[in-house]
Chains A and B, each alone.
Chain A
Amino acid sequence: MVSILGIDPLLVGDVLWTPLLIVLLKVLVIFVVGLLATMLNVWFLRKVIAGMQNRVGPNKTGPFGLLQTLADGIKLFFKEDLIPERADNFVFRLAPYLTFVPAFLAFAIVPLGGDFTGGNDGTVTWFGEVTRVQLADPPVGVLFAVAISSIAVYGIMLAGWASGSKYPLLGSVRASAQMVSYEAALGMSLATVVLVAGTLSTSGIVANQTTIGTWHLVTTGIIPFVIFLIASTAEMNLPPFDLVEAEQELVGGYNTEYSSIRFGLFFLGEFMNPITMSLLLSTLFFGGPNPIAFGDTVINIPLIPGALEGTVWVMLKMFAFLYLFVWFRATFPRLRYDQLMDLGWKVLIPASLGWFMLLAAQRVGDVAGWDPVITTVVAAIVLLVSYSLLQLALRTSRLEREREGAMF
């Protein structure tokens, strides 16, 4: 039982009222910040995409249209809540929560601040108690995020099925196939980070990347980051991977039959996910709350006290990724279904697996004292041979299909 409570340094030893209150406060803050961030994310998305398309975007409700999402939310609350006659009552009601709750749970393990520089371990002292600026630091760390994202499949899948109509079902079948396939690439590129960091805990991963040279973006060699970025975009069903709700083909996808606040919960979950994923990306590859530092020269943000600086850096990195996701949305046309599956199974999974093997070979070589150059060359040759075998297999199967007269 020791390590269940070890998710927070506060809870080890005798539990008093102050730690309990701090944890409750953290839960409340995470919840409120999550909701507010989602609200602002929707506004941010609409404003940025409007800018990219030479439009004005929301500008009537509140200053700069900031309250537009709030107005939309209030409207959703007061709309009539319909349940289709052919729907499966229980599952239909359950599905929105299965989308909404995982989105929030993943938020809990990301370090949102703290000082990891100069040998500090990122803990802060509040009211005389030592704690972390994150809700939980479970021993399985990043695996928790993977587990949560695999649970999120259920929300979409069951929503489509329980609606009892064709288009939502098609949307949800597409979604579950897509999410399950891209999860493999996502997990593999995450495994390279774990391999390099030598720990699963998110705070340990952050503490490992104090300067730009030790960012996992650099130490894992960029490829896992690119794969993680693509796979996470697909995992969240964001454009160009939004086949789940392709309007031209599926009306509105899995949530066609939903209305009122049940639709609102899907909407919240969907716009919460990019925030969580941006935070996760900055934690895994860009040092999270660590300031940008080249060797010994650290760029400090002026006028902000040290304890808050980590939080500011997390926010800056998060915004960079949120912008990137919006940019994707505005730039790329939607993939066709076979292109989506080809990219996932024939490019991303073999690439992430190969890169993982390369890094693993280097680690083993380090421990066993092999010459690093020879290790890398041998590993590269092995990977090249397996790549050619894969290409050969793909070509053979394509020729076979063409010989059978299939239309591909």
Chain B
Amino acid sequence: MELFVFICAAVMVLLGALGVILRSHPVHAALSLVLTLFGVAVLFVAQDAHFLAAVQVIVYAGAIVVLFLFVIMLLGVDKAEDIKTEPLTAQRPLALVLGVGVFAVLATAIITSTDSVVRRGDGLSPTEVADPDANIRQIARSIFGDYVFAFEVVSILLLVAVVGTVLLTRRQRRVEVVSK
């Protein structure tokens, strides 16, 4: 049963990922991304990480890709892109090298380590799996207990990004007003 779920979800993820790269139409590519995210959510559920699955769907599929689509539609770039000509010539060879490099690192990590990548003893105990809220408790303890400092730093980073974006757009407008 678990193998069956894994195969279905993996096929979803891979099809979606291929779709993101191969579809020349931006909207279709974004929809393929949604398929991938759903596949990952299913994999989370199969690993008893229900909360992560829900958050995956709510945040990534429900908000981020919606914003992608929003931008694609508003900017009017929703036409099939001609990918024959390349504006940045160094981009493609560089992408190839980096891609192969990342793949090699991941592959060696997976092959050489049987279970040393994952720290043992952090997961749910078998008695906790039956409790539907154990997941959330565990995540809350990690985020707001063990890693609370890192969590807050990340939130400040996001805040700075938002304030920076607002500031940039504001300044541009003021220059326009002055030049008029």
Contact = CB atoms under 8 A, between A and B. Distances in A.
Interface of A: 1-4, 6, 88, 90-91, 138-141, 143-144, 146-147, 150-151, 153-154, 157-158, 161, 169, 172-173, 176-177, 180, 183, 187, 198-201, 204, 404-405
Contacts of B154: none
A199 B50 CA distance: 14
Given A4-B45, A147-B54, A199-B133, A180 B67 contact: yes
B133 A200 contact: yes
Contacts of A169: 73
14 contacts: A1-B46, A2-B48, A2-B130, A3-B132, A91-B27, A91-B28, A138-B50, A143-B51, A150-B66, A157-B70, A157-B73, A158-B69, A180-B63, A404-B174
Interface of B: 1-2, 5, 27-28, 31, 34, 45-46, 48, 50-51, 53-55, 57-58, 61-63, 66-67, 69-70, 73-74, 78, 129-130, 132-133, 135-136, 173-174, 177
B58 A3 contact: no
Interface of B is mostly: helix
Contact of A161 (B1, B50, B78, B177): B78
Contact of A180 (B2, B53, B66): B66
A88 B27 contact: yes
Contacts of A147: 54, 57-58, 61-62
A157 B66 contact: yes
A161 B54 contact: no
Nearest to B78: A161
Contacts of B174: 404
Contact of A404 (B2, B132, B173): B173
Contacts, number: 98
Max chain B CB contacts within 10 Å: which of A138, A140, A158? A140
* A-B residue pairs, 4 tightest by C-beta: A150-B62, A139-B132, A143-B54, A147-B57
Contacts of B45: 4
Contact of B50 (A1, A139, A183, A198): A139
Contacts of A183: 62-63
Contact of B130 (A3, A141, A154, A176): A3
A399 to B, nearest CB: 14
B130 A6 contact: yes
Contacts of B2: 1
Contacts of A144: 54
B48 A150 contact: no
